Amino acid sequence: MIKPDIVFVAKLAGVSPATVSRVMNHPDLVHPATRKKVELAVEKSGYIRNRAAQAMHGRRSATIGLVVPTVANTIFAEVVQAFNDTVSAQGFTLLLASHGYDLDSEYRLVRKLLEHRVDALAVVGLDHSAGTFRLIAEQRVPLLALWNYLADSALPCVGVDNREAGRLAAEHLVALGHRRIGMVFPATFDNDRARDRKTAATAVFRAAGIELQERWQVEVPYSIAQAKAACLDLLAGEDRPSALLCANDVIAQGAIYAAARLGIAVPASLSVIGIGDFAGSAQMEPALTTVRIPAQQVGIAAGQAIVTAIGRPDADFMIRSRVELELIMRASTGIAAEMIRP
């Protein structure tokens, strides 16, 4: 009752191990009749081929490593899912790692993934430690940046232009006549997505001659609870902004709940815009105006890109694929009150 290996199956089928191997990997090279025999033997013995041994031989490990900040946050769950579905359909298995927005621990995770000889690596964002990059370069593993797009990125990337996302959101608020604007963002230190959105939005406001009040800028992590708490503070007094630009929809949802709790009418007295268009944003009341990031599309496109890259180990792997953003106007933003009165 020992676990059957390839030679056991070979004996059972009355062929050589080589033939069994071929049946598994290049079925067209073996005679249909022998193939049948082997398949029967595989079936009968309950043989499960050993990818480790296969990988050891220098062949594909049939795994792809994916490193995300976290999967607990709606932000990435959807993209992870789409990415996984895509590569899985091509026979790859996903090795998942998450670092909680800590680029140091990312290094260790990448190392671990490389130990498993992943055929390729996908990471979120373009910012990574020098050590991480060196490691990956040394191992000559295709690397793809997910989620971000940058026309002149050093890395292959599939994603959206976060500066454009910030710009679209900001322009929408400006177009509605808002000038008293608050921004709710996470720390931008280890997070290039948030940083890009914020600087682009700020630039738009500057250009429109809007002065951002320090007291209306707050920093919270991507958490509904903390976003709501922070916004309760921010919106408490009389002196509050007329519009809130939120780093993503999770924060925006928190902001809207805070307004609801305080009895502030959205959008009549306060406009709220998010970025992302996560599950639920369209359904909440009032429905959230946001900049849609098609997470699914990103995941699928990234999955395809990376599988292609694995298929051509010789060629340098470079692709820059931009997924389009779209401003989705819903019910959480409206014309600034100041614009209506006169």
Query: Is 213 one of the binding residues for DNA (CB under 7 A)?
Result: no
Task: Give, in order, the Cα–Cα distances in Å from 218 to each of 187, 213, 221, 234, 259.
Answer: 10, 11, 10, 8, 16
Cα–Cα distances in angstroms (integers) from residue 307 to residues 63, 117, 119, 269, in the given order? 10, 15, 9, 49
Binding part of the chain for a second copy, among 13-21, 168-176, 206-214, 276-284 by CB under 8 A, reads 276-284
Helix (H), strand (E) at residue 81: helix 74-89
Q: Which parts of 52-81 interact with DNA (CB under 7 A)?
A: 53-54, 56-59
Structural tokens at position 235: 């919106």
- In whole angstroms, give the CA distance from residue 134 to residue 116: 17
Which of DNA, a second copy, none lies near 223, with the C-beta cut-off 5 to 8 A by kind?
Answer: a second copy
Among positions 11, 45, 49, 322, the unique one binding DNA when judged by CB under 7 A: 49
Stretch that binds a second copy, among 8-16, 36-44, 93-101, 235-243 (CB under 8 A): 93-101
What does the alpha-carbon distance between residue 54 and residue 266 come to, in Å, rounded to a whole number?
59
Shortest separation between residue 307's beta carbon and DNA, angstroms: 18
Pattern 245-274, a second copy, x by CB under 8 A: --------xx--x--xx-------------
Within the chain, what is the greatest distance between any pair of CA atoms? Answer: 92
* Residue 97 in contact with a second copy, rule: CB under 8 A: yes
Q: Rule CB under 7 A: say whether 19 interacts with DNA.
A: yes
Among 3, 36, 134, 206, contact with DNA (rule: CB under 7 A)? 3
State the first-to-last Cα distance of the chain, in angstroms, to the nearest integer.
87
> Residue 286, preceding bond cis, omega within 30 degrees?
yes
- Residue 98 binds a second copy (CB under 8 A): yes
- Give the integer Cα–Cα distance in Å for 313 and 330: 46
Binding status of residue 22 toward DNA by CB under 7 A? yes
Residues 301-320 close enough to bind a second copy by CB under 8 A:
none
Only segment of 19-27, 66-74, 243-251, 306-314 that touches DNA (CB under 7 A) = 19-27
Task: Give the x/- contact pattern for a second copy in 191-230, rule: CB under 8 A.
Answer: --------------------------------xxx--x--
- Residue 16 within binding range of DNA, rule CB under 7 A: yes
Nearest to 161 by CA among 193, 204, 206: 193
d(CA 31, CA 29): 7
State phi, psi for 74 to the nearest 5 degrees: -45, -30
**Token pair for 140:** 């000559």
* Dist CA 188 CA 179 (whole Å): 24
Distance CA 94, CA 80 (A): 10
The answer to the question of residue 46 lying near a second copy (CB under 8 A) is yes
Q: Is residue 285 a contact point for a second copy (CB under 8 A)? A: yes
Q: Catalog residues that contact DNA under the rule CB under 7 A.
A: 3, 5-7, 14-22, 24-26, 29-31, 33-35, 47, 49-50, 53-54, 56-59
User: What is the binding site for a second copy (CB under 8 A)?
Assistant: 3, 46, 48-53, 55-56, 61-63, 70-74, 77-78, 80-82, 84-85, 88, 93-98, 109, 111-117, 135, 138-140, 223-225, 228, 253-254, 257, 260-261, 279-280, 282-285
